[in-house]
Amino acid sequence: PQTAKDILRQKMVEERNVHGFTFIKQGEDGEEGNFYFISSGSCKVTVDDVIVRTLKDGQYFGELSILESTARTATVMSQSVVITYSVDAATFRQTILPFMHDRHRKFFSVFCTVPLLNGSSVYDRSLMMYDMREKQYSTDDIIINQDDKYDNESCFYIVLKGRTKALKQIPSSSHTVDLLTHEEFDYFGELSLMNEVSRSATVAALENTSVACWNVPQFKQLFSCVLPKLIEDQARYQHVIDPSIEEQRL
């Protein structure tokens, strides 16, 4: 019997397109459209005429409409000469979908229940899902250390399973203060990334915990859609931003 690789070799179509070529257009029927893999070149992704992402060598697009049986959620246009390999929806379902579906089924439903992401588009959530890394921590493991320096590998986190706690060493005393507990679907780590400063508190796992995380470039690109919510929620961390509040409590 033919393997998935055999079928892909037979069905994949190589295309070379010039700058400005539109592969898919937002709003078009995509359920029976093509799935594309970029071999070389770059493409811009726009939603409502706003550029939301740039795709380059080794990346792919077109899967979301096939997975969700929906219209195309974005427009993808070449920014240079682009060489792609594409397959039709039927071939995608037969060969690629079985390998993608477990991850999609596991995480997409989770991302639809995260309060922070209420109001974000299906496309935004899909990008978050595909770019995330999942990390596991045991009880008392340190996820973030207070005063860790900000850099591009600093991460933003959403709790998928388990619980964490934030605690702070007050600089002018020997006291460590428990700040708050993060339950499932809560998030943390955004203050450092939004303000480009060192970590203001330590975060540790209270039990065996699974988190989704994104580094600085991913956070700035993918979570701009919820930035107003993040700014609004900073009030809950006022005692982290201003240690004197905690000093007054001691």
Q: How far is the C-alpha of 206 from the C-alpha of 197, rounded, in Å?
A: 25
Mean residue pLDDT across the chain: 85
Q: For residue 11, which of 73, 85, 119 has the smallest C-alpha distance? A: 85
Give me the pLDDT at residue 31, please. Answer: 79
pLDDT score for 53: 83
Q: How far apart are CA 131 and CA 125, in angstroms?
A: 10
Distance CA 197, CA 149 (A): 7
pLDDT at 5 over 60: yes
Q: Are 170 and 248 in contact (CB under 8 A)?
A: no
Q: Please tell me the number of Cα atoms within 13 Å of 60 on its side-chain side.
A: 15
pLDDT tens per residue across span 47-85: 889 888 889 888 889 888 887 788 898 999 999 999 999
Does the global pTM surpass 0.75?
no
Strands 34-40 and 202-205: unpaired
CB 140, CB 246: distance < 8 Å:
no
Q: Which amino acid is at 108?
A: F
Instruction: Enter the tokens of residue 247.
Output: 């000093």
pLDDT digits (tens, 9 = 90+) for 144-177: 999 999 999 999 999 999 999 999 887 776 788 8
